[in-house]
Amino acid sequence: MAYSLTKKFLTALSSNFPADFISTDAADLIEYGRDWTRVFNPAPSAIALPRTTAEVSKLLGLCNTHKVPVVPSGGRTGLAAGAVAKDGELVISLERMRRLDAVDSVAQSLRVQAGVVTELVHQHCADHKLTWPIDFAAKGQCQIGGNIATNAGGVKVIRYGLTRQWVLGLQVVLADGTILELNGALEKNNTGFDLRQLFIGTEGTLGIITEATLKLTRLPNQLNVALFALPDLAAVLLLFHHIRQSPFTIAAFEFFNSPCLDRVQRHRHLAAPFSEPAPYYVLLELENVASESLENWLMQLFENELVQDGTLAQSETQARNLWALREGISDSLTATGLPHKNDVALPIANLEGFCDELAAVLGREYPGWEITIFGHIGDGNLHINVMKPDELAIEEFQVNTAKADHHIFTLVQKHNGSISAEHGIGLLKKPYLTYTRTDTELSLLRSIKRTLDPLNILNPGKIFDI
Ligand code: FAD
């Protein structure tokens, strides 16, 4: 049953916070009650907009006393419905918490409030020739707190790893309002359980992240970007084997199939990269490679017929244009149709076997449907999207995709993969969690949740039910 705020709680809010702290504006309720997914109807009771950690602490203390369920909200670009408020919850938006401290260029670290937009962190660090290397197409809207709460991946994981490797310290507010300072700015701190890591990737179910000390790294001096056209998925994997055995540092190895390219071109009005279309494309980014050795390596690729066609960016603009073909995919799929999204991970060694069997499952479950498949294949991460056929009713589409997901996840389980590589579980993938997590693990996760949030007020119903 949907929750609604009591008079007593509303009176407590108005006597503790300024008048602009809460919004119940109808447009705000829709906007702040949903994320990038459009599966559930947004229906929060109100939106709270704190400016400081002290306000978040006081607010959560009151919510705990009055048993008010809350949904932490970042940039709402999440793809698992983790930030969706559909049952009268109070949304707590971090968007007013946007303080960026000075970059410490010796320690290579930066303290920020959780509501800072990711791309602003990149811009802030660039003057110091440093970066926070978490990078993906939503960087202009998503927030540091959301990135940490989802342990975001992105296009540079193959080079730098996940968000959790780039967080030195966290400030977290617990369900009862207690403020924790975890690990400060320490690189090393071997004093038992690392509580900071416990909060990373838990989708706002254990605490609200209010500040973070980010670990930075040097911006690479020179990046070479190439796009290749390939005949099939086996060729994509062969190219990956080949580049992994080269002496080069891979900054990104991304792939997409031709329906993805068609939709990006249609939505963004971009020209085709090659004169002949191909079934698959790979975007490769290499770091600090001498041009002679790169050209020799590229020649070998063509001589050995490892690729059908290829182009190497000759300027920053050309590199940006090639990246636009890859980075525009998520946005273009949503703008031109209705995708049903899956985000699976496989051990690299099992990718080939999984992909062979996947083709059979997709062909059987979705005969003649448009499948857009892309992602961070260098990390073993595939985004498998099924586009709703125009003539099919949305309810029928959802029944079909829910059934097919069980077949896809059975295959993922068989190949020791994960049903969510980087998007998280939220509400969307909750019914499938047992394909990746054992009953013993789930019962441990539930006992951690009960210890930290005994009244289950923090993002209730996300990841698992209690
Ligand atoms: P939100 O969507 O607002 O929230 C996500 C979850 O975190 C929710 O459960 C929410 O309750 C919780 N949360 C938010 N802020 C806090 C906080 N301060 N404290 C505690 N909990 C909080 N993801 C990837 O990993 N890799 C990609 O390559 C990638 N590409 C994308 C491309 C596009 C075009 C889009 C739209 C999304 C993409 N995403 C990707 C998904 C998404 O951008 C990330 O999950 C991102 O990290 C979410 O950040 P956000 O601020 O938008 O969080």
Please state the pTM of the whole predicted model.
Answer: 0.97
Average pLDDT over residues 108-132: 98
How are beta strands 280-287 and 309-312 bridged, if at all?
Answer: unpaired
CA neighbor of 135 nearest in space, from 21, 41, 217: 217
**Of 73, 264, 329, 381, best ligand 1 pocket probe by most atoms within 8 Å of the beta carbon:** 73
Q: What is the mean pLDDT of the chain?
A: 96
Could you tell me if the CB of 154 is within 6 A of ligand 1? yes
Question: Around Cβ 462, how many Cβ atoms within 10 Å?
Answer: 24
Give the Å distance between the CA of 85 and the centre of ligand 1. 15
**Is the pLDDT assigned to residue 1 strictly greater than 90?**
no
* CA 78 / ligand 1 centre spacing (Å): 4
C-alpha 71 – ligand 1 centre gap (Å): 13
Q: Is 69 in the pocket of ligand 1 (CB under 6 A)?
A: no
Ligand 1: which residue has its CA nearest to atom 42?
78
Q: Is 208 in the pocket of ligand 1 (CB under 6 A)?
A: yes
Cβ atoms of residues 313 and 199 within 8 Å: no
Least confident of 90-99, 227-236, 284-293: 284-293
Note the pLDDT tens digit of each residue in 303-322.
Answer: 999 999 999 999 999 999 99
Structure-block tokens of residue 321: 């244009």
DSSP codes joined into one string, 420-453: BSSS--TTTTGGGGGGTS-HHHHHHHHHHHHHH-
224 lines ligand 1 (CB under 6 A): no
Share of the chain above pLDDT 70, in %: 100
Nearest-atom index, ligand 1, CA of 147: 47
pLDDT in tens, 323-379: 999 999 999 999 999 999 999 999 999 999 999 999 999 999 999 999 999 999 999
Total residue length of the chain: 466
Closest approach atom of ligand 1 to CA 209: 19
Mean pLDDT of 73-100: 98
Instruction: Identify the pLDDT of residue 291.
Output: 84
Long-range pairs, 245-248, Cβ under 8 A, ≥24: 246/297, 247/293, 248/286, 248/287, 248/289, 248/294, 248/297
Nearest atom within ligand 1 for CA of residue 144? 51
**What is the whole-number distance in angstroms between the Cα of residue 99 and the centre of ligand 1?**
19
pLDDT tens-digit profile of 190-208? 999 999 999 999 999 999 9
Q: Which atom of ligand 1 is nearest to the CA of 330?
A: 34
The token duo for 106 is: 């010796």
pLDDT at site 379: 95
Return the pLDDT at 230: 97
> Which uninterrupted H or E stretch holds 76?
none
With the most atoms of ligand 1 within 8 angstroms of its CB, the residue from 57, 76, 77, 113 to mutate is 77
The single-letter code of the amino acid at 247 is P
Ligand 1 contact via 204 beta carbon (within 6 Å): yes
The Cα 176–Cα 319 span in angstroms is 49
- The rounded Å distance from CA 454 to ligand 1 centre is 25
Contact 134, 156 (CB under 8 A): yes
CA of 132 to the centre of ligand 1 (A): 16
Local confidence band at 288 (pLDDT 50, 70, 90 cut-offs): confident
Taking only the tens place, the pLDDT of each residue in 19-40 is 999 999 999 999 999 999 989 9
Residue to mutate, 37, 86, 117, 136, ligand 1, most ligand atoms under 8 Å from C-beta: 136
- Report how far residue 450's alpha carbon sits from residue 259's, in angstroms, rounded to the nearest whole number: 45
Q: How confident is the model at residue 77 (pLDDT cuts 50, 70, 90)?
A: very high
Amino acid at 309: D
Nearest to 42 by CA among 64, 25, 59: 25
**Cα separation of 159 and 140, whole Å?**
21
143 Cβ closer than 6 Å to some ligand 1 atom: yes
Long-range CB pairs of 196-201, under 8 A, 24+ apart, other chains included:
196/167, 196/169, 196/170, 197/164, 198/448, 199/148, 199/149, 199/170, 199/172, 200/148, 200/149, 200/151, 200/163, 200/164, 200/167, 200/170, 201/149, 201/150, 201/151, 201/163, 201/164, 201/424
pLDDT digits (tens, 9 = 90+) for 410-459: 999 999 999 999 999 999 999 999 999 999 999 999 999 999 999 999 99
**Average of pLDDT values for 387-410?**
95
> Which has the closest alpha carbon to 323: 231, 263, 256, 232?
256
Q: How confident is the model at residue 464 (pLDDT cuts 50, 70, 90)?
A: very high
**Ligand 1 midpoint to CA 139 (Å):** 10
How far apart, in Å, do the first and last CA atoms of the chain sit?
A: 16
Average pLDDT over residues 226-243: 95
Ligand 1 midpoint to CA 357 (Å): 30
